[in-house]
Chains A and B, each alone.
Chain A
């Protein structure tokens, strides 16, 4: 029995994309890289204690003094381990990837909620994107954009976007029927229905999606060190190469601290939307 040439088909498709859009991709990549570079420059010239302070204040606002204390201690520990520059590199990539995922994902989710056909098309695509081993995305990213931060963001966005789409879609679909009827019965147009009723009511669910997107971004950004993303992942990779267990552990702990802080912060932001709704005096 002859083998179905799946690999060849994919290879040729990628090649076709490369030859037809390669130059566009290159210039896009260059522009994007310089954008990331600018942002990195700003962050790396900002004093470390100021960044620590900003995070702590944010944590205090959304989660109270316990979260603020934990955040400050965690970030100080990362600084103490002398991993601050790597931490900033990873932070930038996570923020950019999560932002891009949100900017693309939330509108797609809205579309999915409003259009059943689109919903049925995109659901299996999302399943595919999430279950495909994440390493596989690194290869086309590498081919399109070469080595560096841009392919890292590209692969991360593909991996991290599905929850933003899915939970936006779900959140809007779960808006109680009678609230939608309120919108229609009082003569709202579709945009008013979306902005005044569906999105605000779906916001807690959408925020849960964004939290997941953030977490997936972080895990992928670490893996993307394999194609030159730098940051904490690069340290882990180096430690693996040189079998330095202690060093690997240091970088690993920094990733864990960062994950916890980002998770609690984005959950806290999501919750503060919810409590705005429920308990504002």
Chain B
């Protein structure tokens, strides 16, 4: 495995459509925007001076409206579109310097692409569509079909191998598109609005499936979309593109809470924050805490000091043990119990740090006890009470504090 963490490095990428790209490029370098360049030179700037880095194994979403140049950037990454200037390094190799033959090999081995309109070959069966990349590479029929069958099973199309694309629904077609891309075992998946042509329900299903597939395959995925919710759901990081310029690159949380400018802010205003914010984002510090060595009277004193009716109990390594409430502490003290080990602790709801708020809402609404947020080892990281959830959802947007 490669240990390079920066998988794709894009520097100063410019793409101009027109007959005199050089003139336009000079203007861009002087800092003119797209409209000014078009007015002065008649050249269309698709991408102006984009710099970004995609890390190994992340889902990097490029988000923008139509005409923002997002598809062009994607196509520069495998040189379906030749950049006007700038460099793109993938695994440290400058792909703009590749000659035709090396470029073909690079495309065969390093990248695989999934298309918006599926782009399945109508004259080939599902199986023969899936093997296309391997066939081009000259892999023997038996091997490539074996691999393809395995991949089709992975995307849930077992038994459909011999159907033709016209016999499939949209969602299934895109599964074939996905299988065709995965079977190549390329490190990088380029997904061009891969789910945009699907019905909303199917789209969500495919998004979930992509995320669970990614858990298994750990590809570097560059995903293009115009749908902010999709970007927020899939992206480890999101690049916001406007008129060929990167406006902001950040995690979904950064984008929604600290938008770089009004354009991004306008976009994220309508976002359902419960889908973006994670339990870890809204939890409070787990204080106060008591340990198993303490007795009921300590618990009661702490509750009184903080004006609360229950308190979390942990062991010495902060592993969550449970919650003790005022009532149980009082009755324990009255029964002469001096150590919490002998008290039956209440068990409140527990969530992981990376659970979305949306998924915690139902639990919180139904339970009177505060919610514990733990890491993978069941160590208490924080607590969530109803008030903090409401506050997080209500705060209009964090970006306003920047203004």
| A residues whose Cβ falls under 8 Å from a Cβ of B | 176, 178-179, 181-182, 184-189, 192, 196-197, 200-201, 203, 276-280
Q: Which residues of B contact A192 (CB under 8 A)?
A: 136
When the two chains form their complex, are residues A182 and B121 in contact, meaning their CB atoms are under 8 A apart?
Answer: yes
When the two chains form their complex, are residues B117 and A178 in contact, meaning their CB atoms are under 8 A apart?
Answer: yes
Q: Which residues of B contact A178 (CB under 8 A)?
A: 115-117, 119
How far is it, in angstroms, between the C-alpha of A196 and the C-alpha of B103 when the chains are bound? 19
How far is it, in angstroms, between the C-alpha of A201 and the C-alpha of B116 when the chains are bound? 19
How far is it, in angstroms, between the C-alpha of A182 and the C-alpha of B165 when the chains are bound? 15
Which segment, of B104-112, B204-212, B317-325, B382-390, faces chain A? Answer: B104-112
Asked if B133 CB lies within 8 Å of chain A CBs, one says: yes
How far is it, in angstroms, between the C-alpha of A280 and the C-alpha of B180 when the chains are bound? 21
Nearest CB of B to A189, in Å:
6
Chain B CB count within 10 A is highest, among A185, A192, A278, A280, for A185
When the two chains form their complex, are residues A189 and B104 in contact, meaning their CB atoms are under 8 A apart?
Answer: yes
Q: Which residues of B contact A182 (CB under 8 A)?
A: 113, 115, 119, 121, 132
How far is it, in angstroms, between the C-alpha of A186 and the C-alpha of B106 when the chains are bound? 9
When the two chains form their complex, are residues A187 and B133 in contact, meaning their CB atoms are under 8 A apart?
Answer: yes
Nearest CB of B to A113, in Å:
18
- With contacts A181-B80, A192-B136 known, is A187 near B121, CB below 8 A? no
With beta carbons under 8 angstroms apart, the residue of A185, A197, A203, A277 that contacts B78 is A185
When the two chains form their complex, are residues B123 and A187 in contact, meaning their CB atoms are under 8 A apart?
Answer: no
When the two chains form their complex, are residues A200 and B123 in contact, meaning their CB atoms are under 8 A apart?
Answer: yes
Q: Which residues of B contact A188 (CB under 8 A)?
A: 104, 136
- With contacts A196-B132, A278-B166, A279-B164 known, is A187 near B105, CB below 8 A? yes
When the two chains form their complex, are residues B122 and A278 in contact, meaning their CB atoms are under 8 A apart?
Answer: yes
How far is it, in angstroms, between the C-alpha of A37 and the C-alpha of B112 when the chains are bound? 56
Q: Which residues of A contact B309 (CB under 8 A)?
A: none
Q: Which residues of B contact A277 (CB under 8 A)?
A: 122-123, 164, 166
When the two chains form their complex, are residues B166 and A279 in contact, meaning their CB atoms are under 8 A apart?
Answer: yes
When the two chains form their complex, are residues B107 and A179 in contact, meaning their CB atoms are under 8 A apart?
Answer: no
With beta carbons under 8 angstroms apart, the residue of B104, B115, B136 that contacts A181 is B115
Closest to A185 in B: B113
How far is it, in angstroms, between the C-alpha of A192 and the C-alpha of B104 when the chains are bound? 12
When the two chains form their complex, are residues B119 and A186 in contact, meaning their CB atoms are under 8 A apart?
Answer: no
When the two chains form their complex, are residues B117 and A185 in contact, meaning their CB atoms are under 8 A apart?
Answer: no
Q: Which residues of A contact B107 (CB under 8 A)?
A: 184-187
Nearest CB of B to A202, in Å:
10
How far is it, in angstroms, between the C-alpha of A185 and the C-alpha of B191 when the chains are bound? 12
When the two chains form their complex, are residues A185 and B121 in contact, meaning their CB atoms are under 8 A apart?
Answer: no
When the two chains form their complex, are residues B119 and A181 in contact, meaning their CB atoms are under 8 A apart?
Answer: yes
When the two chains form their complex, are residues B137 and A196 in contact, meaning their CB atoms are under 8 A apart?
Answer: no
Asked if B184 CB lies within 8 Å of chain A CBs, one says: yes
Q: Which residues of B contact A201 (CB under 8 A)?
A: 121-123
When the two chains form their complex, are residues B135 and A196 in contact, meaning their CB atoms are under 8 A apart?
Answer: yes
Q: Which residues of B contact A196 (CB under 8 A)?
A: 121, 132, 135-136
Q: Which residues of B contact A278 (CB under 8 A)?
A: 122, 164, 166
Closest to A199 in B: B123
How far is it, in angstroms, between the C-alpha of A176 and the C-alpha of B118 when the chains are bound? 12
When the two chains form their complex, are residues A179 and B119 in contact, meaning their CB atoms are under 8 A apart?
Answer: yes
When the two chains form their complex, are residues B80 and A184 in contact, meaning their CB atoms are under 8 A apart?
Answer: yes
Proximity bits, B186-213, A CB within 8 Å = 1, else 0: 0000100000000000000000000000
Cβ contacts A to B, 11 pairs, < 8 Å? A179-B119, A179-B121, A181-B115, A181-B119, A185-B78, A185-B111, A187-B136, A188-B136, A196-B135, A278-B166, A280-B164
How far is it, in angstroms, between the C-alpha of A188 and the C-alpha of B121 when the chains are bound? 14
Q: Which residues of A contact B105 (CB under 8 A)?
A: 187
Closest to A197 in B: B121
When the two chains form their complex, are residues A186 and B112 in contact, meaning their CB atoms are under 8 A apart?
Answer: yes
With beta carbons under 8 angstroms apart, the residue of A186, A203, A280 that contacts B133 is A186
Nearest CB of A to B152, in Å:
17
Nearest CB of A to B260, in Å:
32
When the two chains form their complex, are residues A276 and B117 in contact, meaning their CB atoms are under 8 A apart?
Answer: no
Nearest CB of A to B220, in Å:
16
The 6 closest A-B pairs by CB, nearest first: A187-B108, A187-B107, A178-B119, A185-B113, A186-B133, A187-B104
When the two chains form their complex, are residues A186 and B132 in contact, meaning their CB atoms are under 8 A apart?
Answer: yes
Nearest CB of A to B307, in Å:
63
How far is it, in angstroms, between the C-alpha of A201 and the C-alpha of B129 when the chains are bound? 13
Given known contacts A176-B119, A187-B105, A189-B104, what 14 new A-B pairs fall within 8 Å (CB)?
A178-B115, A181-B80, A185-B78, A185-B112, A186-B133, A187-B103, A187-B107, A187-B137, A200-B121, A201-B123, A276-B123, A277-B123, A278-B164, A279-B166
Q: Which residues of B contact A279 (CB under 8 A)?
A: 164, 166
Q: Which residues of A contact B104 (CB under 8 A)?
A: 187-189
How far is it, in angstroms, between the C-alpha of A280 and the C-alpha of B104 when the chains are bound? 32
Q: Which residues of A contact B109 (CB under 8 A)?
A: 187
How far is it, in angstroms, between the C-alpha of A53 and the C-alpha of B166 when the chains are bound? 36
How far is it, in angstroms, between the C-alpha of A179 and the C-alpha of B132 when the chains are bound? 12
**Residues of B84-117 whose CB lies within 8 A of A:** 103-109, 111-113, 115-117
How far is it, in angstroms, between the C-alpha of A49 and the C-alpha of B245 when the chains are bound? 75
How far is it, in angstroms, between the C-alpha of A33 and the C-alpha of B133 when the chains are bound? 48
